[in-house]
Structure 1
Amino acid sequence: MTDPDNPQGTPRICPIDPTTQALAVRGLTKSYGDAIVVDNINLDIPKGAIYGIVGPNGAGKTTMLSMATGLLRPNRGSAWISGFNVWEEPNHAKKEMGLLADGLPIFDRLTGKELLVYVGAIRGLDEQLVDQRSNELLNALGLEDAAGKRIVDYSAGMTKKILLAQALIHNPKVLILDEPLEAVDPVSGRLIQQILRNFAQAGGTVVLSSHVMELVEGLCDHVAIINKGVVEVAGHVDDVRQGSSLTDVFVDVVGGGALQEGSLSWLGLAEDQG
């Protein structure tokens, strides 16, 4: 848990060496004009964890992860992946991570197999190894029949799965996923969760953002709740929920969620169309 006597807005010296963590950020801040989106965030994600990042819409989750992975430059602060400073050692940091970022452009005129071959080549993998891993990923994710189909013709769920495959193909140490199960059917969702568990059990680290509390509670062993650009609470899932459900803790931390008495009282009432 975060120290309640030391709010995120107060600069402090973090006792954990960020280079020992799978992913760490220190003082990460992003603002647009007078609007502060991410406010001096400090966070440590240990190696081997399945770490959930949750928060309401507009809380700063995606912005924080974008800065932590080198997609967006912060106003101030630093980030490390597998001990490498993202902005000082970008090539080393990016080699260590696999990324599924929500909303980025996709090479959707390629087929699913072509995308994996292309990404594998960029990652410097041997052609034969890329072919083997591509076929295994396509089969594991139920995309073998769509391997020769252009991604532009994929459903939203299929697109999410091929993006997960391209994030995994080089066997990264840290897998960072923004809403990985959005639009994915329950069968594929369960399969993806098993892949992520196996990845973590083998020594990898999974960092995922999600709005689905049940997913985070059932899959993740650590969680951070971000609200209004700060980390409100972070730690092992059991320590965060303290016997309650993660949804209840989330609502307590973030606030809101209750309909005001009398609000929308007109719904369902028959109206005189006179």
Structure 2
Amino acid sequence: MTTPPDPDHTPLFDVDAPVPRTPVERLLALADLYTQHNDRIDLLFAGRASHDPDGSVSSARRLERETLASIKAVRQQRLPAIEPVTSAVVRLKQIAYLTSGATRYLTAAQQALPEGDAEPARPDPRRGLGQYLRLARELTALAPAAIVESTTHIAARLPERARSNTTVPDMDATQRGTLLEVARGHVIVTEQYGQRGYGHTVTVDIDVLRHLEDQNLVTREPASAPPFFPGGPLRDRVRLTSLGLSVLSTVINSPLHLGLAAARPVPAPAAAATTTRVRR
């Protein structure tokens, strides 16, 4: 991402390096930022994080700026004004508008802090601070999945010069599908009842996640996702690495490696050994 951060406050999330280069990589990175933002608010409601009102507002503003900057990057490619490309761009604009609304609610939450900045361990989602946080969270709830959906349509019409050609050996449809679930912010790992991976509505094959992690395509962020039930253990969010962003951007609209014969294969880097691994 190239948009400079808000100089007044530190955002609640970091942007992975290196900076995504293509429009599709940029959009996938944006979806990840929204997932991190949503997780942070969920942790507040679970009573597992303290409220940083300045950081919350700053982060929402940054998300809005990054969304608008991503739309600009897409428009610079002069894509054809046809469906579903036009609808995909409109959806991204809607996400920016909704994020602007979330910023206003988070600002209201900032002003609703009790006297002396005291706050309950778990904000009440029906009133005061908690109500504003809930409304803000609802406005960004669907952003990661919506961004990925729009990205698939945009990727199909990008000129060759704006595409990534990074691949890894033996990528199959199951691995691609898992990468898409990760990009949508749907994959978490818990070890409470034996190690399991969970998608939005289905169980994710933990062996597939291990394989993708060994290839340095995904990584686990420990205890960054809210518990399954109140008082339960925090769960690990699975996120795309920088290499994972590039690889998924290459195959995002290609279910079975179609059209990738000329792509440049990239073997799993040595750096993969230093990533957080799924423990057996």
| TM-score (norm: length of structure 2) | 0.28
Larger radius of gyration: 1
Q: Which has the higher contact order (CA 8 A, sep 6+)?
A: 1
User: Relative to total residues, which structure has the larger strand share, 1 or 2?
Assistant: 1
Q: Which structure has the highest helix share of the two?
A: 2
